[in-house]
């Protein structure tokens, strides 16, 4: 057994890791609800907390939801799947959910995987608003 993998899993599952509510903050600006994702790596470990955070939002038809991933240099498929699932559940139009992705590698991956056909993707928050 690989000790490093075991130790990492134990550490991640340990109560010493306090994720709290600091990973996601919601700000309302005009008709937009901005969800700031304060994660360097947006992974499956945080996807459930994102799901809970998004399900707690009060959204009207006039609101657009901007998910700000500009601090993230890595976004895994499970984390993206949570956003896609939220989109399907709420039955938004393409212009209602916007992603802000600053990292050029992540932007390229989102274009290659055709995520840009589901969401509009911007490089900064000002463009998204």
CA 84 to CA 124: how far, in whole Å?
Answer: 20
- Start-to-end CA distance of the chain, whole Å, equals 49
Q: What is the pLDDT of residue 93?
A: 66
Output the six-digit token pair for 54: 């998004």
CA 60 to CA 25: how far, in whole Å?
Answer: 19
User: Domains plus CATH for the chain?
Assistant: 19-128 (3.30.750.24)
Asked if 24 and 36 touch (Cβ cutoff 8 Å), the reply is yes
Look up residue 74 and give its DSSP letter.
E
Give residue-wise pLDDT tens across range 31-86. 899 999 999 999 999 999 999 999 998 887 778 899 999 999 999 999 999 999 99
Q: What 3-state DSSP class applies to 4?
A: helix
Q: What is the pLDDT of residue 17?
A: 40
Compute the C-alpha angle 33/35/38, nearest 5°.
Answer: 160
- Whether the pLDDT of residue 14 is over 70: the answer is no
């Amino acid at each position: 057994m690989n000790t490093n993998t075991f130790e990492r899993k134990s550490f991640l599952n340990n109560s010493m890791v306090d994720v709290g509510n600091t990973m996601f903050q919601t700000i309302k600006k005009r008709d937009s609800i901005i969800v700031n994702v304060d994660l360097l790596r947006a992974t499956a470990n945080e996807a459930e907390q994102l799901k809970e955070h998004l399900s707690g939002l009060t959204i009207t038809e006039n609101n657009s939801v901007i998910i700000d991933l500009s601090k993230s240099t890595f976004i895994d498929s499970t984390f993206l799947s949570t956003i896609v699932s939220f989109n399907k559940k709420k039955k938004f139009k393409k212009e209602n959910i916007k992603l802000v992705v600053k990292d050029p590698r992540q932007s390229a991956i989102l274009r290659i995987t055709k995520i840009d056909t589901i969401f509009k993707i911007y490089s900064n928050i000002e463009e998204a608003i």
